[in-house]
């Protein structure tokens, strides 16, 4: 099922997305903002990643595609979905820098929260974010996420250890504002 959000389409990843994802995941600036990613992926790694994630029953993974051109701008997902305790992990990567600053991250994240709570019947959606990524933390807080803890020196980027902030939003939590 495709989802239209803020001029983009969220759709299942396809082999045609491999070239864009390869470039995005190997971009040093993009990788520096993401806790779970590093540079150094091969084309075969990306092809394998697409295939591995296409049909997993414990994920709702989508490519973020331009609504006009269908070009892959990144990906977003709910991972490790546990239907018993009704929880999942959230992650997003907008890898095309030309798409930054347009409010896509906010719109897509809000859509995925609604999708998770309303359609997947989740009670808890959690995430981790580099503690140095103040812009992302502020966005998540505006969308109702609360900081639950800090994993000290849990990531290694650009020759230094970085702390990772653990955040979560519960179904009944309210966003803090519309800025």
pLDDT at 179: 45
143 within a domain of the structure (yes/no): no
Higher-scoring residue by pLDDT: 32, 16:
16
**Cβ partners under 8 Å of residue 31, min gap 6:** 25, 37, 38, 39, 157
Nearest Cα to Cα of residue 147 among 123, 167, 126, 124: 167
Domain containing 103: what range?
Answer: 3-125
- Each residue of 17-45: pLDDT tens digit? 999 999 998 888 888 877 765 657 888 99
118 within a domain of the structure (yes/no): yes
Q: State the pTM of this model.
A: 0.91
**Cβ partners under 8 Å of residue 120, min gap 6:** 60, 78, 81, 83, 88
For residue 84, the domain's CATH number is 3.40.630.30
45 within a domain of the structure (yes/no): yes
82 within a domain of the structure (yes/no): yes
- Each residue of 46-90: pLDDT tens digit? 998 898 888 788 999 999 999 999 999 999 999 999 999 999 999
71 within a domain of the structure (yes/no): yes
The percent of residues in the chain predicted with pLDDT above 70, rounded, is: 96
Q: In what order do the strands lie in the sheet with 3-5?
A: 3-5, 8-11, 60-66, 72-82, 87-94, 124-130, 160-170, 146-157
């Amino acid at each position: 099922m495709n989802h239209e959000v803020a001029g983009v389409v969220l759709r299942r990843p396809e082999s045609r997305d491999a070239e864009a994802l390869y470039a995005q995941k190997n971009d040093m600036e993009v990788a520096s903002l993401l806790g779970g990613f590093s540079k150094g992926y091969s084309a075969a790694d990306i092809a394998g990643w697409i295939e591995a994630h296409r049909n997993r029953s414990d994920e709702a993974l989508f490519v973020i595609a331009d609504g006009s051109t269908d070009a892959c701008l990144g990906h977003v997902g709910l991972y490790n979905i546990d239907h018993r305790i009704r929880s999942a992990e959230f992650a997003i990567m907008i890898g095309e820098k030309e798409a930054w600053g347009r409010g896509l991250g906010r719109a897509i994240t809000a859509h995925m929260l609604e999708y998770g709570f309303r359609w997947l019947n989740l009670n808890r959606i959690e995430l981790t974010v580099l503690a140095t990524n103040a812009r992302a933390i502020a966005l998540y807080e505006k969308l109702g996420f609360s900081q639950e803890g800090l994993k000290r020196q849990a990531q290694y980027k650009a020759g230094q250890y970085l702390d990772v902030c653990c955040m979560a939003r519960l179904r009944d939590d309210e966003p803090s504002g519309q800025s």
